[in-house]
Amino acid sequence: MRQISPYISVDCVLFGYNGSELEVLIVDRTLKDDNSDELIINDRTLTGNHVYEDETIEDAAYRVLFDLTGLDSVFLEQFKTFANPDRLKRPNDQLWLQRTNRNPDARIVTVGFYSLVATDKVKLIWKGRNVNWVPVKEVGELAFDHNEILQEALKTLRLRIKYEPITFELLPEKFTLTQLQNVYEAIWGIELDKRNFRKKIARMKYLITLDEKQTGVAHKPARLYVFSREVYTKTKKELFDFTI
Amino acid sequence: MRQISPYISVDCVLFGYNGSELEVLIVDRTLKDDNSDELIINDRTLTGNHVYEDETIEDAAYRVLFDLTGLDSVFLEQFKTFANPDRLKRPNDQLWLQRTNRNPDARIVTVGFYSLVATDKVKLIWKGRNVNWVPVKEVGELAFDHNEILQEALKTLRLRIKYEPITFELLPEKFTLTQLQNVYEAIWGIELDKRNFRKKIARMKYLITLDEKQTGVAHKPARLYVFSREVYTKTKKELFDFTI
DNA sequence: TCAAAAGTGTTTCAGATACACCCATGT
DNA sequence: ACATGGGTGTATCTGAAACACTTTTGA
């Protein structure tokens, strides 16, 4: 029996893209009163879990994602660690810890990871809990310190896509340039000029044009593209270009 | 008596700048054999410490730095967490943990912070251990996983100075443009063109030109500048400019 | 034939790059 | 007087921004 670390957890901010908005995976947290069957907790959290004593935190995060999505090669990156001694001290959180057989007084350090998947790749099941994609803009109050974790993940994502071609992770394997542009727009919450966007994209050698086109759309079908990690790895500059 | 968390530590990568090279603070780790007085451990580490149970990790990192430097308002930023189950399992590290009354089998998660100070501001004392500034290029093998921690800190620093005016933290309050340029060069390990550097700097409103000049130098004395955090905060763009 | 998104080129402006000489000071 | 680093301007190129029309498909 693998030993669980009572002090270390990971939380995964799983971002998805549904074709128009940036979404995040949110799970419902409900608890019924033993006698009355009344809901005494009914709120929402990100996904996370404790880490096994002999497991790296990266593996733990992959495990959470695999349990959740069945996917085993998603993009995953650590972004920040949350360890405030009060982070689990709100009444509902204390109650939840008690009822799930954990020590509510323990100080749990959680390492935040964020992940990117195409929303439609994911079938949602997680430990019998109700799991939903929620547009980032519509996420209300979350349990624990999960609103803070989400905001930090978003901040990291917004910065990271400036340097690294990871936006593809939010799209199907074959995608159109408009879809790609929409991903940037959804993450940054701004609009980009189509022609300028395409000029910039044209410089990225790792975006491979396919001989295929969209089908079944009621307008001129768009060309499809794929991301070539191989070309990217070969051509990427040493870390980034140095200009102050 | 404050309770120490046996599972959470912070490690601080304290960067300094000596006028020509980027340096990092390194402490000697020595252990004598009880009988023979022979050194059985004689290697080097970064600075770090355990966290108190009621203390935030940021406060713990500030505490480490304060103990080390007497400075209480240094730049400090969390950059990554290291939690590999094997990270403290090398023989010297196991021995060290035993001799310093810690459980060598415990899994210790360490949160990495990096800090920036002007080297000459710091008087070096730390728990009776020998502390030295070492040029980053000349740091040899370190104990624990500290080489990895240092490399990650450096990577973060190299990226961060592209977005945020934190290079000033490595200089005296009043500095010359050449010193500032040298800081960028030292961190990135490249050379920059003097005239182009100054043109770029001229656009940064938060760099205030003083009416003072260098004294005691055997050449045309340079003008002195200060960084104005106030102007920076007022004029900085929302997070960063959005271009893909 | 209409609605919808795809796809495309030019002009203007800002910033990046490359490059060489005179100036003020201490010794 | 000389050695040392300070300080400055211009020309060229590359990328960013602004902007409108034709094309292809399904309904």
- pLDDT given for residue B238 in this prediction: 58
Q: In this structure, is residue A165 part of a structural domain?
A: no
Confidence bin at A239 (pLDDT 50/70/90): low
CATH number at residue A155: 3.90.79.10
Work out the number of other CB atoms within 10 angstroms of the CB of residue B181: 19
Confidence bin at A244 (pLDDT 50/70/90): low
> With the CA atoms of A182, A187, A193 and A195 taken in that order, what torsion angle do they form, in degrees rounded to the nearest 10?
-50
A45 with A112, same domain: the answer is: yes
Q: How far is CA A213 from CA A179, A216, B30, in A?
A: 13, 10, 67
C-beta separation of B15 from B116 below 8 A: yes
- pLDDT given for residue B241 in this prediction: 67
Instruction: Kindly report, residue by residue over A124-150, the tens digit of the pLDDT.
Output: 777 778 899 999 999 999 999 999 999
- pLDDT given for residue B126 in this prediction: 76
Taking the C-alpha atoms of residue A207 and residue A205, their distance in angstroms, rounded to an integer, is 5
- The domain in which residue A191 lies consists of 173-235
Higher-pLDDT residue of B126, B37? B37
Q: In this structure, is residue A166 part of a structural domain?
A: no
Q: In this structure, is residue A242 part of a structural domain?
A: no
A66 with A144, same domain: the answer is: yes
B109 with B206, same domain: the answer is: no
Tell me the mean pLDDT in the region B159-182. Answer: 95
Contact: A200, B244; criterion CB under 8 Å = yes
CATH number at residue B215: 1.10.10.10
Last residue of a domain, one of A137, A160, A183: A160
Has residue A123 got a pLDDT over 80?
A: no
- Contacting residues of A for B109, CB less than 8 Å apart: 7-8, 57, 109, 111
Contact: B200, A162; criterion CB under 8 Å = no
Taking the C-alpha atoms of residue A207 and residue A231, their distance in angstroms, rounded to an integer, is 8
B184 with B68, same domain: the answer is: no
B118 with B211, same domain: the answer is: no
Taking the C-alpha atoms of residue B60 and residue A63, their distance in angstroms, rounded to an integer, is 31
Which of A78, A84, A239 lies closest to B80 in CB terms? A78
Residue by residue, DSSP assigns A7-39 as: EEEEEEEEEEE-SSSEEEEEEEEEEE-TTT--E
Last residue of a domain, one of B129, B160, B191: B160
- pLDDT given for residue A71 in this prediction: 87
Beta bridge partners of A135: A23
> With the CA atoms of B147, B153, B155 and B158 taken in that order, what torsion angle do they form, in degrees rounded to the nearest 10?
-140
Taking the C-alpha atoms of residue B28 and residue B143, their distance in angstroms, rounded to an integer, is 10
For A27, half-sphere exposure in the C-beta direction (CA atoms, 13 angstrom radius) is 23
Q: Which of A126, A84, A90, A123 is nearest to A107 (CA)?
A: A84
Q: In this structure, is residue B123 part of a structural domain?
A: yes
Has residue A29 got a pLDDT over 70?
A: yes
Query: Token pair of B130, please?
Result: 């020998």
CA distance B85 to chain A (A): 6
Coil, helix or strand for A43? strand
Instruction: Give the count of domains, chain A.
Output: 2
Size of interface A-B (CB pairs under 8 A): 78
Nucleotides of C under 7 A from a protein CB: 3-10, 15-20, 23-27
A184 with A132, same domain: the answer is: no
B74 with B44, same domain: the answer is: yes
Instruction: Kindly report, residue by residue over B86-136, the tens digit of the pLDDT.
Output: 999 999 999 999 999 999 999 999 999 999 998 876 777 777 788 999 999
Q: In this structure, is residue B60 part of a structural domain?
A: yes
Give the mean pLDDT of chain B.
93
B4: Cβ contacts below 8 Å, ≥ 6 apart? B50, B51, B52, B53
Q: In this structure, is residue B134 part of a structural domain?
A: yes
Tell me the mean pLDDT in the region B144-161. Answer: 97
Has residue A78 got a pLDDT over 70?
A: yes
Confidence bin at B239 (pLDDT 50/70/90): low
Instruction: Kindly report, residue by residue over B227-237, the tens digit of the pLDDT.
Output: 999 999 888 87
Which residues of B lie inside 8 Å of A (Cβ-Cβ)? Answer: 5, 7-8, 51, 53-57, 78, 80-81, 83-85, 107, 109, 111, 155, 158-159, 161-163, 184, 188, 190, 192, 197, 200, 239-240, 242-244
Tell me the mean pLDDT in the region B203-224. Answer: 95
Contact: A161, B85; criterion CB under 8 Å = no
Radius of gyration of chain B (CA): 20
C-beta separation of A109 from A7 below 8 A: yes
A208 with A91, same domain: the answer is: no
Tell me the mean pLDDT in the region B50-74. Answer: 94
A64 with A95, same domain: the answer is: yes
A115 with A152, same domain: the answer is: yes
Taking the C-alpha atoms of residue A184 and residue A201, their distance in angstroms, rounded to an integer, is 12
The percentage of chain B sitting over the pLDDT mark of 90, rounded to a whole number, equals 82
Last residue of a domain, one of B106, B138, B160: B160
Tell me the mean pLDDT in the region A7-31. Answer: 95
The answer to whether some atom of strand D lies closer than 7 Å to the beta carbon of A193 is yes
Q: In this structure, is residue B8 part of a structural domain?
A: yes
Tell me the mean pLDDT in the region A210-216. Answer: 95
Has residue A215 got a pLDDT over 70?
A: yes
Q: Which of A214, A224, A120 is nearest to A175 (CA)?
A: A224
- pLDDT given for residue A72 in this prediction: 86
A54 with A107, same domain: the answer is: yes
B177 with B90, same domain: the answer is: no
Q: In this structure, is residue A243 part of a structural domain?
A: no
